[in-house]
Structure 1
């Protein structure tokens, strides 16, 4: 028997909840490992990556709060608040990355090699796109701007993972300490753009 529109919406809502729960769980682990490894290695890139994970937890929690509402009208009302929280987390991330990148470029901090950081970045580079694409697909079909915005923040973590992997790798193998902060500044620009989209409620647009 084919599913009705109501059944499909309920299925997608449950899917978004599960994906949000998985994102929160992974990001809590990621934050603990990154901040600990970053502190040991004096790596602003790793600490920044860990703080990004904390921001992603707050973003995912906002979406979970929205979808905990029992009726569609309440979810729509909560969505506006959730979008503001997601947008502000994008802006906060961009500000932190910009400040720390500037400090790194002027020589205020130089990180030691971190094998744990390299491993974490590699794992995140695989896990995050899967979570992001699944949530974005469900969010778009459901018509939830906040779920799509949160999926974009998860995808931003993929970019940060690639930047972190490249930065730590180039620093370890070639001694190019400037590579990570320069690439991170590009990510900060992406974060600002996505923050603006979330604030305007345009997250459901197709890229």
Structure 2
């Protein structure tokens, strides 16, 4: 019976690194389009949730660029720690901005209007992002890259945000619940802050089979909720 190696060979690592760069490029391309549509639609509809979603797309682009920068080096592991910090900081920036904007809306800063483009982009992202996240996470886990897994969580977060955004926009459009938009924005901020804390602490390592910390960490919060 043949025993599979615990760690990938050098040739396999090269293949996985190329895949991660490809997935990062796909993430950048899609999220640039998503950001433009969401920010434009959010401005037109005065929607805090849509603006927050658009900013998350911008942050996802920054995260993917950081990941591409890391894997452009001959020894990507040397850039691992800094890249994790960049990804975590991007989560915190998103959470802070969206929270302030949502509170502004709830305290009389403006009621969100119906947005068909917003509903369409949220539904499209709900279909696309889980697939991209799954592919990236698989490559990151096999390679043992904390940053690739963290970036896949950033992409998966977009799925959750899409669902929350879609619910808020539909409730606002069909029932006139303008506060649902701000509520969705606050939910987006809370999820982003949580992911930022986990990424800053390096909790992504619990999802990486080959990471040294994984053997000692066991199943913790990020293992049980983001798998």
TM-score range normalised by the length of the shorter chain: over 0.9
Alignment of 1:93-172 (within 5 A): 93-172=94-173
Residues 62 and 85, structure 1, Cα contact 8 Å, conserved in 2? yes
* In structure 1, C-alpha distance between the alignment counterparts of 2:86 and 2:164, rounded to whole Å: 25
- Rounded to whole Å, the distance in 2 between the matches of 1:107 and 1:16 is 44
Cα distance in structure 2, aligned partners of 1:187 and 1:164: 8
Q: Distance in 1 between matches of 2:182 and 2:115?
A: 16
Matched, 1:33 2:34: no
Q: How many residues align?
A: 203
Q: CA deviation at 1:171?
A: 0.3
Q: Is 2:62 the partner of 1:85?
A: no
Under a length normalisation based on structure 2, what TM-score does the superposition of the two structures give? 0.85
Q: CA deviation at 1:108?
A: 1.2
1:44 equivalenced with 2:48 (yes/no): yes
Is 1:57 the counterpart of 2:58 in the alignment?
A: no
Deviation for aligned residue 1:178: 1.6
Is the contact between residue 94 and residue 192 of structure 1 (CA under 8 Å) also seen in structure 2?
yes
Moved more, 61-70 or 4-13: 4-13
TM-score, normalised relative to structure 1: 0.92
CA distance in 2 between counterparts of 1:204 and 1:180 reads 34
Contact 1:113 1:168 in 2 (8 A): yes
Query: Following the alignment from structure 2 to structure 1, what is the Cα–Cα distance between the partners of residues 106 and 115?
Result: 19
Alignment partners' CA distance in 2, 1:112 and 1:188 = 20
Of 183-192 and 20-29, deviating more is: 183-192
Deviation of 1:187 (Å): 2.9
Match of 2:25 in 1: 21
Hey, what's the Cα distance between the residues in 2 that align with 1:176 and 1:32? 25
> What does 1:59-78 correspond to in 2, within 5 Å?
59-70=63-74, 72=75, 75-78=76-79
Cα offset for 1:114? 0.8
Bigger shift: residues 148-157 or 175-184: 175-184
Identify the range of structure 1 (147-156 vs 34-43) with the bigger mean alpha-carbon deviation. Answer: 34-43
Q: Deviations over 1:11-52 (max 9, x none)?
A: 111111110000000000001111111122222221221111
Give the superposition deviation at 1:10.
1.1
Report the CA distance between 1:5 and its aligned residue: 1.2
- Offset at 1:102? 1.4
The runs of 5 or more residues in structure 2 that have no matched partner are 208-222
